[in-house]
Amino acid sequence: MIPRISSKVASFTESVIREMTREADAHGAVNLSQGLPDFPCPPELKRAVADAVNADLNQYPTTFGEAALREAIAVKTEAAYPGWKVDAETELCVTCGATEAMVATMLALLEPGDEVIMFEPRYENYGPDAIFAGAKPVFVPLHRPEWTIDEAELRAAFTDRTRAIVVNTPHNPTGKVFSAEELALIAELCQRHDVLCFTDEIYEHIHFLGEGGHIPPATVPGLEDRTVTINSLSKTYAVTGWRVGWTIAPAWATKAIRTVHDFLTVGAPTPLQAAGVTAMQLPRGYYTELAEHYRRLRDLLCPALADIGFELRVPDGAYYVLCGTGKFDPAKDDVAFARKLITEIGVATVPGSSFYAEPAKGGDLVRFAFPKREETLRAAIERLGTLG
Q: Are 231 and 205 in contact (CB under 8 A)?
A: no
Amino acid identity of residue 236, one-letter, is T
Distance between start and end Cα atoms, the chain: 52
Answer yes or no whether residue 354 interacts with ligand PLP by CB under 6 A.
no
DSSP codes, 366-378 = EEEE--S-HHHHH
Calpha distance 327→346 (Å, rounded): 19
126 vs 328, beta carbon nearer ligand PLP: 126
> Of 238, 332, 266, nearest to 96 (Cα)?
266
Q: Are 170 and 202 in contact (CB under 8 A)?
A: no
Answer yes or no whether residue 371 interacts with ligand PLP by CB under 6 A.
no
Q: Which of 52, 98, 110, 321 binds ligand PLP (CB under 6 A)?
A: 98
Answer yes or no whether residue 368 interacts with ligand PLP by CB under 6 A.
no
> Of 317, 372, 316, nearest to 349 (Cα)?
372
Answer yes or no whether residue 33 interacts with ligand PLP by CB under 6 A.
no
Calpha distance 297→341 (Å, rounded): 21
Binding mask 194-223 for ligand PLP (x = CB under 6 A): ------x-x---------------------
Calpha distance 291→111 (Å, rounded): 39
Q: Which of 35, 175, 269, 315 binds ligand PLP (CB under 6 A)?
A: 35
Helices (H), 11-115: 16-27, 43-54, 67-80, 97-109
* Shortest distance, position 192 Cβ to ligand PLP, whole Å: 27
Cis peptide before 170 (omega within 30 of 0): yes
* Shortest distance, position 369 Cβ to ligand PLP, whole Å: 8
202 vs 238, beta carbon nearer ligand PLP: 202
> Of 140, 138, 139, 132, nearest to 111 (Cα)?
132
Q: Are 312 and 305 in contact (CB under 8 A)?
A: yes
Binding mask 45-84 for ligand PLP (x = CB under 6 A): ----------------------------------------
Answer yes or no whether residue 169 interacts with ligand PLP by CB under 6 A.
no
Name residues contacting ligand PLP, limited to 264-323 (CB under 6 A).
none
Calpha distance 296→319 (Å, rounded): 11
222 vs 298, beta carbon nearer ligand PLP: 298
Q: Which of 77, 199, 227, 234 binds ligand PLP (CB under 6 A)?
A: 234
Calpha distance 261→103 (Å, rounded): 9
Q: Which of 31, 99, 247, 349 binds ligand PLP (CB under 6 A)?
A: 99
Answer yes or no whether residue 166 interacts with ligand PLP by CB under 6 A.
no
* Shortest distance, position 188 Cβ to ligand PLP, whole Å: 24
* Shortest distance, position 44 Cβ to ligand PLP, whole Å: 20
* Shortest distance, position 14 Cβ to ligand PLP, whole Å: 15
Q: With left for phi above 0 and alpha for psi between -120 and 50, is residue 56 left, alpha or beta?
A: left
* Shortest distance, position 202 Cβ to ligand PLP, whole Å: 5
17 vs 302, beta carbon nearer ligand PLP: 17
H/E segment holding residue 247: strand 245-248
23 vs 200, beta carbon nearer ligand PLP: 200
Cα-flanking dihedrals φ and ψ of residue 106, to 5°? -70, -40
* Shortest distance, position 24 Cβ to ligand PLP, whole Å: 15
Answer yes or no whether residue 172 interacts with ligand PLP by CB under 6 A.
yes
Answer yes or no whether residue 353 interacts with ligand PLP by CB under 6 A.
no
Answer yes or no whether residue 247 interacts with ligand PLP by CB under 6 A.
no
* Shortest distance, position 122 Cβ to ligand PLP, whole Å: 8
Q: Are 232 and 98 in contact (CB under 8 A)?
A: yes
Which residues contribute to the site for ligand PLP (CB under 6 A)?
Answer: 35, 97-99, 123, 168, 172, 200, 202, 232, 234, 240, 245
